[in-house]
Amino acid sequence: MKFGVFLPNGSNGYIPSEGSPVYQPTFEHNKAISLEAEAQGLDFVLSMMKYRGFGGSTGYWDSCLESFTLMAGLASVTERIGLFPSISLLSQHPAVVARMIATLDDISSGRCGLNIVTGWNRAEYLQMDMWPGDSHYERRYDYASEYLTILKTLWETGRCSHKGEFFSLDDCTVYPQPSGDIPIVCAGQSPRGRQFVAESADHQFVLTGKSNLIGGVKDIQSRAAKYNRNVGIYALYHMIIEDTDEKAKGVAEDIVRKADTGAIRNILASASLDTNEGGSSDQLQSALDQSIEEGNMAFMGIPVIVGSPATIAKQIMSLRDDSGIEGMLFSWPDFVEGVRRFGEEVMPLID
């Protein structure tokens, strides 16, 4: 099983609550986490991108280190771990991103992949006059397909001529080419997002509790099989490790009690504009009432594995065995300590 870290390059990581550490993102913090992850034998780190945060009492995601430049810094201080920056497609032309990835591939000696983000949050792009209009909500995965076709052509051949609905390239060249295939990941959850994953991505990140995970894995696998493709699925979870189950449960409940309701209101208001059926809007709305295990909004709708090291190891093996996931991506309230305890106390119990 493969394991990754969802790096906290936005303020406060992935928990909009005063019950969890409130902090500014820094290179030093993300470097310490990545070095610990590498030392513990984890497989990859992934950074996100948010161009506008959600305020509230914790200033949730109001600061965000840029995903590619952060990864370039991490590439030069790590030796083995996989590195995945996130591209918010509307913010950069594909030929620029093809070159950024080729550069990162060179710095990291072939350790980088790419997370494709189509953008469900209009305010991020509207503030830069980069929002193409609200039709983007429903067209965003068509845009992603064309974008990715251009990226792959440039990586494979070094040049691209293309006349499409969204882009026009005239014998555009991008050298050097990357040293090998660039793994593409995407966290599309909506039916259209999952279809894009099945047709074009190598891995999917899923954001759902166990009850939906099993069906979600089957859905992607059957969609991908129609194209003779395999997609490896990774479940995104928070992890709260304490010496006992009771203590861990107490920490999780305190996080829900102290949720940053202002930031959560702002997230939901922005997500509710997304008309892409079954996507971020529906998902985040339903997370308001969900249990901690299935993903409450105090945890951004991300499900939480809570307990002692032995309980956590048991839950991870049962998720793997019941659903067929290839790996998991984790976030912790305290990342450096969380990665260390996961590596030293949980990983040895997983067989």
Ligand X SMILES: Cc1cc2nc3c(=O)[nH]c(=O)nc-3n(C[C@H](O)[C@H](O)[C@H](O)COP(=O)(O)O)c2cc1C
Closest distance to ligand X from the beta carbon of 155 (Å): 21
27-49: b or e for each residue (b if 16 or more CB lie within 10 Å)? eebbbebbbbbbebebbbbbbbb
Q: Could you say whether residue 280 binds ligand X (CB under 6 A)?
A: yes
Token representation of residue 69: 């430049």
In terms of Cα–Cα distance, which of 22, 4, 90, 11 is closest to 259? 22
Q: What is the DSSP letter of 116?
A: E
In terms of Cα–Cα distance, which of 185, 161, 200, 178 is closest to 98? 178
Contact mark string toward ligand X, 89..128, x via CB under 6 A? --------------------------x-xxxxx-------
Residue closer to ligand X by CB (options 178, 216) is 216
| Contacting residue, 19, 56, 59, 193, with ligand X by CB under 6 A | 193
Q: Could you say whether residue 148 binds ligand X (CB under 6 A)?
A: no
Ramachandran sector of residue 55 (left: φ over 0; alpha: ψ -120 to 50; beta: rest): left
Residue closer to ligand X by CB (options 207, 213) is 207
Q: Which residue has the tokens 């469900």?
A: 120
Residue closer to ligand X by CB (options 117, 259) is 117
Q: Could you say whether residue 236 binds ligand X (CB under 6 A)?
A: yes
Residue closer to ligand X by CB (options 52, 162) is 52
In terms of Cα–Cα distance, which of 326, 89, 342, 114 is closest to 238? 342
| Contacting residue, 11, 276, 308, 311, with ligand X by CB under 6 A | 276
* Piece of the chain touching ligand X by CB under 6 A; list 101-109, 159-167, 188-196, 318-326: 188-196
| Contacting residue, 11, 30, 189, 311, with ligand X by CB under 6 A | 189
Q: Could you say whether residue 213 binds ligand X (CB under 6 A)?
A: no
Beta strand residue intervals within the chain, DSSP E: 2-6, 44-46, 82-84, 86-88, 114-117, 159-163, 168-173, 184-186, 203-206, 232-241, 304-307, 327-331
| Contacting residue, 5, 42, 48, 235, with ligand X by CB under 6 A | 48
Residue closer to ligand X by CB (options 5, 241) is 5
For β-strands 168-173 and 159-163, DSSP reports them as: antiparallel
Mutual angle of helices 94-107 and 67-77, in 10-degree steps: 10
- Give the residues across from 206 on adjacent strands: 235
Number of residues that bind ligand X (CB under 6 A): 24
Closest distance to ligand X from the beta carbon of 243 (Å): 29
For β-strands 159-163 and 114-117, DSSP reports them as: unpaired
| Contacting residue, 279, 307, 333, 343, with ligand X by CB under 6 A | 279
- The span from the CA of 197 to the CA of 118, in Å, is 12
Three-state secondary-structure class, residue 259: strand
Residue closer to ligand X by CB (options 65, 160) is 65
φ and ψ at 102, to 5 degrees?
-60, -35
Residue closer to ligand X by CB (options 92, 177) is 92
Residue closer to ligand X by CB (options 193, 309) is 193
Q: Which residue has the tokens 């509230």?
A: 56
Closest distance to ligand X from the beta carbon of 181 (Å): 21
* Piece of the chain touching ligand X by CB under 6 A; list 16-24, 48-56, 214-222, 287-295: 48-56
Binding footprint of ligand X on the chain (CB under 6 A): 6, 48-50, 86, 88, 115, 117-121, 187-190, 193, 205, 207, 236, 276, 279-280, 329
